[in-house]
Amino acid sequence: LAFSRRQTLDPQPTDVNRLMKGMTDLIQRTVGPSIVVETIGATGLWPTLVDASQLENALLNLCINARDAMPDGGRITIEASNRWIDGDVARAHDMPEGHYLSLCVTDTGTGMTPDVIAKAFDPFFTTKPIGQGTGLGLSMIYGFANQSGGRVLIQSEVGKGTAISLYLPRYEGTAARDEGDVHKAPFEFTQSGETILIVDDEPTGAHAAHRCPR
């Protein structure tokens, strides 16, 4: 279903620290008082070339999904950071080597089973009751990230929560800032019992990804 995968985008150099800060009040009102919302920016965060309004929509959708996974309340952490994806990791996960901005939404909710993770980005797939979800939110985020030259990664464990990370390429144009703090690519931290998923358009794409990886 193409409409859930491809959108009309207007990419511009975007300061994601500023975008997160500008959305904090809206997100807190949306998720309600039983959930604590924490935002963590990064000093020297790289800009990314992205449609800011679509990134805002993606972030809000991720926070709504996180809220729905915490019916008794909990915590949502939104974290932005600079990442370096090296050759081995890039090839293993079908990502171009280079600098990426990571925007990660982590919750303390119910988590997902491997079967749910595998279907999470399929159009119209939802675990919500009939009438409470279209199943298009995550599919559109998937399409948006891929159209923007990035990837979406899910990491989840039942009973412990979920982290969904958007990886967007660093913008190297005139709006680029100083190098900032760079974190190594996140895939080496996995522990026993976790489920990893990387989502890609290609049939060969592997599946990936508890907290924003450090």
Domain boundaries, the chain: 2-199
CATH of 2-199, one of 3.30.565.10, 3.40.190.10, 3.40.50.1860, 3.40.250.10: 3.30.565.10
Q: What is the mean pLDDT of residues 166-186?
A: 64
How far is the C-alpha of 142 from the C-alpha of 200, rounded, in Å? 8
Q: What pLDDT is recorded for position 119?
A: 87
Rounded to whole angstroms, what are the CA distances from 5 to 108, 140, 153, 156, 200? Answer: 28, 6, 16, 23, 11
Average pLDDT along the chain: 79
145 touches 102 (CB < 8 A): no
CA separation for the pair 168, 175 (Å, rounded) = 16
pLDDT band for 128, please (50, 70, 90 cuts).
low
Percentage of the chain beyond pLDDT 90 is 55
Angle in degrees, CA 31, 4, 165, rounded to 5: 50
pLDDT band at 131 (very low <50, low <70, confident <90, very high): very low
- Residue 11 is predicted with a pLDDT of 95
User: How much of the chain, in percent, has pLDDT values that exceed 70?
Assistant: 70
The 8-class DSSP code of residue 15 comes to: -
pLDDT at 129: 52
Tell me which residue has tokens 């990837």: 151
Residues 179 and 57 sit within 8 Å (Cβ to Cβ):
no
